[in-house]
Amino acid sequence: MKMSEGVEWTAHACVLLAALPKGVGLPANALAEFHALAPAYMAKHMQALARAGVVESVRGAGGGYRLARAPRDISLWDIVEAIEGGEPAFRCVEIRQQGPCVTPQGDFRKPCEIHAAFARAENAWRIELKSVSLADMAAEVARKATPQKRALLTQWITGKLA
């Protein structure tokens, strides 16, 4: 059970976008370059984010991606859902309905206990992810940054926007 690395890629990218002035964005190429990632693959992931409504795309020269909502209104779960899809990790395939001890009158309308337990666990996981917003993470990153890093960052960003 391994989560796609695309989640980390796009999460970092969104944190970067959250640090930009409202309504301003960056092209996929720049987002990939910022963390030295494969540009073509990053572009694919950003398309998924756009389809999911997490970011907005602006086509044409000078375009790129920008956040579709305020950083406070975008959670880590939104990103996971966009990249991984909303399907649960545990998928009950109803093996209880197979085998020599299944009765014809068996009642399988209610989910089995195993299924229900995993559903509860994944729900707790989602709730935790939904409670973390881009604003939270961006603020924490900014707090920990040294003055040098801050300067380097603003310089790089202005270079990309020019």
Asked if 14 and 76 touch (Cβ cutoff 8 Å), the reply is no
Q: Which stretch binds DNA (CB under 7 A): 47-55, 113-121, 128-136, 137-145?
A: 47-55
How would you class 66 by CB atoms within 10 Å of its CB: exposed for 0-12, middle for 13-18, buried for 19 or more?
middle
> Please, which residue, 51 or 150, has the CB nearer to DNA?
51
User: Is 146 among the residues that bind a second copy (CB under 8 A)?
Assistant: yes
Per CB under 6 A, the list member of 34, 43, 66, 115 interacting with ligand FES is 115
Asked if 58 and 64 touch (Cβ cutoff 8 Å), the reply is yes
Minimum CB separation of residue 85 from DNA in Å reads 8
Q: Which of residues 65-84 bind a second copy (CB under 8 A)?
A: 76, 84
What does 26-89 look like in DSSP terms, one character per residue?
B-HHHHHHHTT--HHHHHHHHHHHHHTTSEEEE-STT-EEEESS-GGG-BHHHHHHHHH-S--S
User: Is 162 among the residues that bind DNA (CB under 7 A)?
Assistant: no
Looking from the CA of 132 toward its CB, the CA atoms found within 13 Å total 15
User: Is 149 among the residues that bind a second copy (CB under 8 A)?
Assistant: yes
Per CB under 7 A, the list member of 22, 23, 36, 60 interacting with DNA is 60
> Please, which residue, 16 or 25, has the CB nearer to a second copy?
16
User: Is 67 among the residues that bind DNA (CB under 7 A)?
Assistant: no
Contact residues toward ligand FES (CB under 6 A) are 8, 12, 92, 94-96, 112, 114-115
